[in-house]
Amino acid sequence: MKKYGLKDIQEEEVDKVLDTYKGGTVSSGDLEKIELTLMNRIKQSVMAVPKIKGTEVMVFLENTRELGGKIKIISEYEGKGLFSRIMGESKVIENLKFQVLDIVEMEIRKSFREYPQIVENFDINIEIVH
């Protein structure tokens, strides 16, 4: 986890909260742990995409009637060179955005196993830079 600049937290505690969450609010301490866990999991999964060279993930949860929030992802991808930039860079970027979005939604659903529809409560913003 240190390789990707991720923080270590007590995974067992957070997994217990995530596994049992079925809606409603959570404590502020759990909220911070959930944010860190989601950031770590999303970052690890996005870094597994071969064309992604680096990524930063920010998660801001809102503890209202339903847990939700904003996720901002900035990823840097490895291009092939000048010719590929001219010919189809925008298509590559769009494909990477869809791929990253799918990964993020999957990680949210995996994290909240008992409440997969929670993914609708998140505003996910993805930026791909070269």
Assign residue 35 the CATH number of its domain: 3.30.300
> Is residue 4 one of the residues assigned to a domain?
no
> Is residue 2 one of the residues assigned to a domain?
no
> Is residue 44 one of the residues assigned to a domain?
yes
* Of 67, 16, 11, 12, residue with least CA distance to 40: 11
**pLDDT for res 84:** 57
> What's 48's DSSP letter?
T
> Is residue 1 one of the residues assigned to a domain?
no
**pLDDT for res 24:** 77
Q: Which residues are registered as beta bridge partners of 61?
A: 69
pLDDT of the chain, 130 residues: tens digit per residue: 444 444 555 666 777 777 777 777 788 788 888 899 999 999 999 999 988 999 999 999 998 888 899 999 999 988 766 555 566 677 888 899 999 999 999 999 998 888 888 899 999 999 998 7
> Is residue 55 one of the residues assigned to a domain?
yes
**pLDDT for res 1:** 47
Contact 96, 72 (CB under 8 A): no
> Is residue 80 one of the residues assigned to a domain?
yes
**pLDDT for res 6:** 47
Give residue 22's identity as a one-letter amino acid code. K
Q: List the beta strands (DSSP E) in the chain.
A: 52-63, 67-77, 122-129
Q: What is the 3-state secondary structure (H, E, C) of 95-129?
A: HHHHHHHHHHHHHHHHHCCCCHHHHHHEEEEEEEE
The answer for residues whose C-beta is within 8 angstroms of residue 1's C-beta and 6 or more apart is 7, 8, 40, 44
> Is residue 71 one of the residues assigned to a domain?
yes
Domain residues for 23? 9-129
Which pTM does this prediction carry? 0.81
> Is residue 3 one of the residues assigned to a domain?
no
Separation of alpha carbons 119 and 9, rounded Å: 23
Tally the domains of the chain. 1
